Amino acid sequence: MSHEVIHGDGAHEPETPNLDFAGTTPYEDYVQADVLTHLQHPLSDDPGEMVFLVTTQVMELWFTVVVHEWETASRALREDDLPVALAALKRSVRELEALNASWTPLAGLTPAQFNAYRSALGEGSGFQSAMYRRMEFLLGEKSASMLVPHRGAPRVHAELEKALQQPSLYDEVLRLLARRGYAIPAEVLQRDLALRYEPSAGVEAVWAEIYGGDQDSELVRLGEALTDVAELVWRWRNDHLVATRRAMGAKAGTGGSAGVAWLEKRASKNVFPELWTARSHV
């Protein structure tokens, strides 16, 4: 017999929650926790592999959320709905902070600790992550060659092909600025969307103009939200670089990548580049 609490209004409320369900719990039905917690299949006997595997899976989940937010922001920008776009970008900033914190369990790996299960990765490497690639495409880091590893997965390949051909988040920002009367160069607006975005002096001048005006304007707030995103992407790349350098030094990376050398090149680049360079002209 369950205990009940009687309130002043005579209402009865159980002291303990309902524990008896006909099937699986509503929590399980919604979260699919049993699926998530049984997706780990370590391939070595080293106990450290489990944290590496789970951390990588957690990163994939955060990639998925961030892609959702940036696609939401992109749609809102196309519809000139800046409040919705800003809300999605601000959510993604908090999510990027959580994503970056995912490096913490791996940040102190020694070479010997990583080597204990590194062979389990085989040719696997983070650059093969399809969801991370969609993040990069949304940032304007387009590359048709990065579709090649996914030829054997038709659905994933089709999603990446679509993302390659679509405007990036930054493309949508610049189109919105053009619709609002700012002098975004025609060659930027008409560029081949399947190519990596390249900095433009004309775009830099537009951001300098925006930042030189009303500091409470929604376009300054948009610029700052994008800068927050860009900074956290830069921190992600640097945290990846440092964790990799600490765990394996300058050795070649898994999957045939150049390892630290490749990550150093990535970490040296800023996304939304004119948002950084324009500050020198305000």
Annotated binding-site residue? 179: no
- What pTM does this model have? 0.89
Annotated binding-site residue? 38: no
Q: Which CATH number fits domain 49-281: 1.10.10.10, 1.20.58.480, 3.90.226.10, 1.20.1050.90?
A: 1.20.58.480
Q: How far apart are CA 119 and CA 44, in angstroms?
A: 8
HSE-CB at 192 with a 13 A cutoff on CA atoms is 6
Annotated binding-site residue? 240: yes
What pLDDT is stored for residue 2 in this prediction? 47
Cβ-count burial 192-225 (b if 16+ within 10 Å, e if not): eeeeebeebebbbbbbbbbbeeeeeeebbbbbbb
Sequence-distant contacts of 141-148: CB under 8 A, at least 24 apart: 141/196, 141/197, 141/271, 142/168, 142/193, 142/194, 142/195, 142/196, 142/197, 143/196, 144/194
What pLDDT is stored for residue 194 in this prediction? 97
Domain locations in the chain as residue ranges: 49-281
Is residue 221 a contact partner of residue 86, using CB atoms and an 8 Å limit?
yes
What pLDDT is stored for residue 262 in this prediction? 67
Question: pLDDT tens string for the chain (282 positions)?
Answer: 445 555 555 566 667 888 899 999 999 999 999 999 999 999 999 999 999 999 999 999 999 999 999 999 999 999 999 999 999 999 999 999 999 999 999 988 899 999 899 888 888 888 899 999 999 999 999 999 999 999 999 999 999 999 999 999 999 999 999 999 999 999 999 999 999 999 999 999 999 999 999 888 999 999 999 999 999 999 999 998 888 888 888 776 665 656 677 678 777 788 999 999 999 999
What pLDDT is stored for residue 14 in this prediction? 63
What pLDDT is stored for residue 201 in this prediction? 98
